[in-house]
C-alpha cells in the first residue's frame, strides 16, 4: 500500500513538473520574440547616436516606457511578482499538498431479535467514513434504538470495511463494527458490541443503496441476533491539508478545479437546554414526570447552499433526576438572514432520531423535534443562537417544550460544486488545526448504585480544535464495554494545555465538564467533572501516543474514581 501511495505522489509531482516545463517553454518563446524585436529597434537607434554624448538620465525614461508599455498593462510586473511569490509558496507546499478526500455519510436501519421471546428492537445508525484507499474505508458509527421498547439504547464505535465493484453499478461491501454502549434496560452485559456485515450496494451516482446481512453480538450479554439491514450511503469529498502553509492562494491551492469549488458555511455548537415536560409525560415506572430537565450537548450543521443546511445533534441530561437520558438526532434546516450584514438570522429546523434512558418513557426511542433558532453573530467566527421548540416521542409518554442557548463556532469549508459562495483566485487559504484521539480508559473502583465499587473499562473518541501551539478546546465521548457497566456513556467539553516539547516528549493537562450515566453507575443527576494530566510521545508529524491519569467526580452522585487513559493522537488540518 505504501508503494502505491509513493507511486501516486511521484506521478503527481512529475505531472506538475511537466506542466511547469510547458509553461516555461511558452513564456520563453514569447519573451525571446519580444526581446529580438526590441534589440533590433534599439540597435538602429544606438547606431544613429553612437558618436553623441549619452544623457545622464537616459535609463529612467526608458524604464518608465517599458513599465507602461509592456503588454499595455501598467501593473504587469506587480501582478507577475505576486504570481511568482504565490508560486514559491506553492512550490514550498508541494511536499505537504492538499488532497480531496472521498468520504461517505451512511444511514441504516435493521431489526434484531432480543432475548425475551417475540421481542424485537429496531436499530438506526449514523456513520461517517473516510475512503482510505480505493477498496478500504473506515470511520465512526453511532447506533440507537428507534422501535420496540428499549428507548435509550445507544452504542458508539468504529467501522472498517472493504468494497469491490462487481458488474454494472453493483458493489460488494463487507466490514465490521466494534463499539460500546447499551441502555434501555437491555441485556447488553458489559456493553461491548460487535457487528459484522456483508451485502450488495447499487450506485446511483448521487447515492448508494445497500441490502446487508448483519450479525449483532454482545459477547458479555445475552443479545445475539442476525438481521437484514437497509442502508443509504451519501458520498461527498472535502479537502484536507497536510501542512501548515497559510499563504497559498485559492488559484494555487485548487488549480484548474477552482472554477468548480465554492465555500460552504458550517458551525460546531455547544449547547444547554431546559426541558419542561407536559402533564402526560411519565417515567418507565409510570410515575409522573413533571420536573424540569437540564441538558448539555453538541451540534454540527453543514450548509448545502447559502440557506439550506443539514444538522446533527447529541445531548445528555445533567439535572432533573434522569441521569442517563440521552439523544441522537439528525435533520434539515433553513437559515433566513434578517439584516443586510447577515448578523441576525432565523434558523428553523426539523430533526428525528432516538432518545431515552434515565427512566424517561420514550417507548421504542423514536423522537421528532421542531426547533426555531435566533442567531446573533458576535464575530465572523462566533455566534450566539437562542432556540426554542418542541420534542415528542410518538411511541412513548414523553412530550416537552424547551428553550436553549448555543455558542457556535462558525467555519468555512470547501466543496467541489457551485452551490456555495464563489472563490476569487487571490483569496488566501488558511488552515484550521485539529486532532482526533481514539481513546481507551479505565475507571478504578467506580461506585455503583447499591453501594458497591468495581473497575470498568471504556472506549471512545476525542476531537480537539487547536487554538494555538499550547492550548486546545476538546469534545469527548466514551461508553463502557467492560466491568458490568453496559449502558454507561458520557460526553464532555473542556480545555487542554500542551507543554513544551523535549526529545519528542511533552506533557498535557485537561479540565472537562459534562454528563454521564446509565449502566448502574452512581452518577446522580449525571453532571460530571473530569481532570487529567499525562505525557505525549511524538511518533512523527501526524501521530503521537498519549497516556495519562486523572479523576472523575459526580456532582450529586457517589461516583469518585481514579482514571487511566491511553490514546492515539492524529493531527490534521482543514483549509478555510
Q: What does the pLDDT average to over 291-313? A: 95
Q: Where are the beta strands (DSSP E) in 46-191?
A: 98-113, 120-133, 136-147, 154-165, 170-182
Is 503 among the domain residues? yes
pLDDT band at 241 (very low <50, low <70, confident <90, very high): low
pLDDT tens digits for 86-130?
444 444 443 344 568 899 999 999 999 999 999 999 999 999 999
Same domain, 123 and 179: yes
Intra-chain end-to-end CA distance of the chain, in Å? 30
Mapped to the 3 state alphabet, what secondary structure does 507-544 carry? EEEEEEEEEEECCCECCCCCEEEEEEEEEEEECCCCEE
Predicted local distance difference test score (pLDDT) of residue 573: 85
Residue 282 maps to which CATH number?
2.40.160
pLDDT of 42 above 70: no
Q: What share of the chain is helix, strand, coil (3-state, %, to 5)?
A: 15, 60, 25
pLDDT tens digits for 170-216?
999 999 999 999 999 999 999 999 999 999 999 998 999 999 999 99
Per-residue b or e along 35-47, where b marks 16 or more CB atoms closer than 10 Å to that residue's CB: eeeeeeeeeeeee
Same domain, 413 and 448: no
Of 558 and 247, which is predicted with more confidence? 558
Domain count, the chain: 3
Residue in this structure with the C-alpha cell 452485559, named with its chain if needed: 189
Q: What does the pLDDT average to over 146-154? A: 95
Is 174 among the domain residues? yes
pLDDT of 19 above 60: no
pLDDT tens digits for 494-526?
999 999 999 999 999 999 999 999 999 999 889
Is 308 among the domain residues? yes
Same domain, 509 and 400: no
Is 436 among the domain residues? yes
Same domain, 195 and 307: no
pLDDT of 75 above 80: no
Same domain, 437 and 411: no
Same domain, 501 and 449: yes
Same domain, 380 and 488: no
Q: What does the pLDDT average to over 1-12? A: 35
Of 63 and 297, which is predicted with more confidence? 297
Least confident window among 64-68, 208-212, 309-313: 64-68
Predicted local distance difference test score (pLDDT) of residue 165: 94
Residue 183 maps to which CATH number?
2.40.160.20
Predicted local distance difference test score (pLDDT) of residue 101: 86
Same domain, 373 and 484: no
Is 351 among the domain residues? yes
Is 143 among the domain residues? yes
Is 64 among the domain residues? no
Same domain, 335 and 460: no
Q: Radius of gyration of the chain from Cα atoms?
A: 29
Structural domain that includes position 410: 271-417
pLDDT of 355 above 90: yes
pLDDT tens digits for 411-466?
988 888 889 889 888 888 888 899 999 999 999 999 999 889 999 999 999 999 99
pLDDT of 262 above 70: yes
Predicted local distance difference test score (pLDDT) of residue 243: 52
Predicted local distance difference test score (pLDDT) of residue 72: 52
Is 163 among the domain residues? yes
Same domain, 180 and 307: no
pLDDT band at 4 (very low <50, low <70, confident <90, very high): very low
**Domain ends where: 417, 443, 476?**
417
Q: What is the DSSP string of 290-355?
A: -S-EEEEEEEEEEESSSSEEEEEEEEEEEESS-TT-EEEEEEEEE-EE-STTS-EEEEEEEEEEEE
Amino acid at each position: 500500500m505504501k508503494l502505491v501511495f509513493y507511486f501516486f505522489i511521484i506521478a503527481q509531482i512529475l505531472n506538475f513538473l511537466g506542466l511547469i516545463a510547458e509553461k516555461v517553454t511558452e513564456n520563453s518563446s514569447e519573451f525571446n520574440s519580444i526581446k529580438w524585436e526590441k534589440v533590433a529597434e534599439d540597435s538602429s537607434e544606438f547606431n544613429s547616436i553612437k558618436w553623441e554624448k549619452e544623457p545622464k538620465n537616459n535609463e529612467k525614461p526608458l524604464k518608465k516606457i517599458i513599465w507602461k508599455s509592456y503588454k499595455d498593462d501598467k501593473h504587469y510586473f506587480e501582478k507577475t511578482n505576486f504570481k511568482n511569490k504565490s508560486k514559491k509558496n506553492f512550490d514550498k507546499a508541494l511536499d505537504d499538498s492538499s488532497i480531496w478526500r472521498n468520504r461517505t455519510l451512511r444511514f441504516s436501519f435493521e431489526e434484531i431479535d432480543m432475548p425475551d421471546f417475540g421481542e424485537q428492537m429496531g436499530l438506526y445508525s449514523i456513520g461517517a467514513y473516510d475512503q482510505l484507499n480505493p477498496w478500504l474505508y473506515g470511520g465512526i458509527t453511532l447506533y440507537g434504538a428507534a422501535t420496540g421498547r428499549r428507548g435509550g439504547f445507544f452504542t458508539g464505535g468504529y467501522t472498517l470495511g472493504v468494497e469491490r465493484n462487481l458488474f454494472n453499478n453493483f458493489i460488494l461491501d463487507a466490514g465490521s463494527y466494534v463499539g460500546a454502549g447499551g441502555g434501555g434496560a437491555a441485556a447488553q452485559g458489559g456493553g461491548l458490541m460487535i457487528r459484522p456485515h456483508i451485502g450488495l450496494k447499487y450506485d446511483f451516482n448521487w447515492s448508494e443503496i445497500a441490502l446487508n446481512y448483519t450479525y449483532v453480538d454482545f459477547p458479555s450479554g445475552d443479545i445475539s441476533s442476525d438481521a437484514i439491514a437497509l442502508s443509504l450511503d451519501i458520498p461527498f469529498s472535502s479537502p484536507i491539508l497536510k501542512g501548515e502553509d497559510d499563504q497559498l492562494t485559492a488559484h494555487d491551492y485548487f488549480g484548474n478545479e477552482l472554477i468548480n469549488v465554492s465555500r460552504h458555511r458550517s458551525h460546531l455548537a455547544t449547547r444547554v437546554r431546559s426541558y419542561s415536560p407536559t402533564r402526560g409525560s411519565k417515567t418507565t415506572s409510570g410515575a409522573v414526570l413533571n420536573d424540569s430537565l437540564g441538558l448539555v450537548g453538541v451540534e454540527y450543521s453543514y450548509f448545502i447552499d447559502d440557506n439550506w443546511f443539514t444538522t446533527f445533534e447529541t445531548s445528555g441530561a445533567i439535572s432533573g433526576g434522569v441521569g442517563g437520558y440521552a439523544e441522537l438526532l439528525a435533520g434539515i434546516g433553513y437559515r433566513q438572514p434578517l439584516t443586510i450584514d447577515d448578523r441576525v438570522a432565523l434558523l428553523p429546523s426539523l430533526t428525528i432520531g432516538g432518545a431515552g434512558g434515565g427512566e424517561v418513557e420514550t417507548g421504542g426511542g423514536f423522537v421528532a423535534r421542531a426547533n426555531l433558532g435566533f442567531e446573533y453573530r458576535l464575530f465572523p467566527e462566533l455566534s450566539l443562537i437562542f432556540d426554542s421548540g418542541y420534542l415528542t416521542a410518538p411511541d412513548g409518554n414523553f412530550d416537552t417544550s424547551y428553550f436553549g442557548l448555543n455558542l457556535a463556532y462558525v467555519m468555512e469549508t470547501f466543496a467541489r460544486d457551485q452551490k456555495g459562495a464563489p472563490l476569487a483566485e487571490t483569496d488566501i487559504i488558511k488552515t484550521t488545526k485539529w486532532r482526533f484521539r481514539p481513546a481507551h480508559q479505565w475507571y478504578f473502583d467506580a461506585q455503583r448504585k447499591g453501594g458497591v465499587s468495581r473497575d470498568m473499562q471504556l472506549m471512545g473518541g476525542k476531537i480537539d480544535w487547536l487554538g494555538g501551539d499550547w492550548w486546545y478546546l476538546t469534545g469527548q465521548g466514551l461508553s463502557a464495554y467492560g466491568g458490568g457497566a453496559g449502558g454507561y456513556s458520557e460526553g464532555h467539553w473542556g480545555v487542554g494545555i500542551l507543554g513544551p516539547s523535549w526529545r519528542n516528549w511533552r506533557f498535557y493537562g485537561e479540565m472537562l465538564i459534562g454528563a454521564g450515566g446509565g449502566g448502574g453507575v452512581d452518577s446522580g443527576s449525571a453532571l460530571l467533572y473530569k481532570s487529567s494530566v499525562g505525557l505525549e510521545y511524538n511518533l512523527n508529524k501526524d501521530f503521537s501516543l498519549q497516556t495519562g491519569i486523572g479523576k472523575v467526580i459526580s456532582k450529586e452522585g457517589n461516583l469518585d474514581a481514579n482514571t487511566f487513559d491511553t490514546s492515539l493522537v492524529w493531527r490534521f488540518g482543514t483549509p478555510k
